[in-house]
Amino acid sequence: MEEAREAVADACRRLAREGLVHATAGNVSARADELVVVTPTGAVLAELRPELTSVVDMEGNVVEGELAPTSELFLHLGIYERFDAGAVVHTHSPVATALSCVIDELPPVHYQMLAFGGGVRVAPYATFGSRELADNVHAALDGRSAALMQNHGAVCFAGDCAAATELARLLEWACEVYWRARTIGRPRVLSEQELAGVVDALRERGYGRTSAR
């Protein structure tokens, strides 16, 4: 449990350093068996210490910690119930949030978006902290590891906090690539066939791993 609390706090501080969360806007969680470590509501993420995190069960009951958990708790718990997730990162990163105000889906304009499963859907708007918002996001995440949240922000999940943080960084990068391309012209979108070719090449060449010559 202490390791999970450290991981959540470390992820919050890194996300703040990289400008993906600001002040108290955003939240992070990590699953530890049948418990979830989550950021507390109102916490300044750049300063979060492990002992300030909240620990809840899968029903949302606080079992450890003196601070109330994030208002987006059910967004996090629903992801753990529905998907093979070990950690969840919700950000208000600027480019992703800006795009969430104007598009319905971030199309696959770069092959690295395969890390999300393809194009990234935009979950319809609902009030923050509501069950409706959580349900909308869970639907947008079907078959994906990331979603944008209309006029709100973004969410990613992965096996651990470090991997979920990397996905959040990648998503902000992909959003910026799309935004810059849109300022020049109509972005070309990779087809299913082109993405399948990337998957085959990754498998054959072991891309992303060092190897001997």
pLDDT at position 184 is 97
This prediction has a pTM of 0.93
pLDDT at position 149 is 98
> What type of residue sits at position 43?
A
Q: What's the domain range around 130?
A: 2-205
Tell me if 43 is assigned to some domain: yes
pLDDT at position 189 is 95
pLDDT at position 201 is 86
Tell me if 35 is assigned to some domain: yes
Domain count, the chain: 1
pLDDT at position 213 is 54
Q: What's the CATH code of the domain at 33? A: 3.40.225.10
- pLDDT tens-digit series, residues 17-53: 999 998 989 999 999 999 999 999 998 999 999 999 9
pLDDT at position 203 is 79
Low-confidence stretches of the chain (pLDDT beneath 50): 210-212
Tell me if 123 is assigned to some domain: yes
For residue 85, the Cα-to-chain-centroid distance in whole angstroms is 11
Catalytic member of 34, 47, 64, 72: 72
Tell me if 20 is assigned to some domain: yes
Tell me if 29 is assigned to some domain: yes
| CA-based torsion, 191, 195, 201, 203: positive or negative | negative
pLDDT at position 112 is 94
Where do the DSSP E strands lie in the chain?
27-32, 35-38, 54-57, 62-64, 87-91, 105-106, 120-123, 146-149, 153-158
pLDDT at position 210 is 43
Tell me if 130 is assigned to some domain: yes
Tell me if 69 is assigned to some domain: yes
Instruction: Check: CB of residue 44 under 8 Å from CB of residue 38.
Output: no
Tell me if 212 is assigned to some domain: no
pLDDT at position 95 is 98
Catalytic residue at 72?
Answer: yes
Instruction: Check: CB of residue 38 under 8 Å from CB of residue 76.
Output: yes
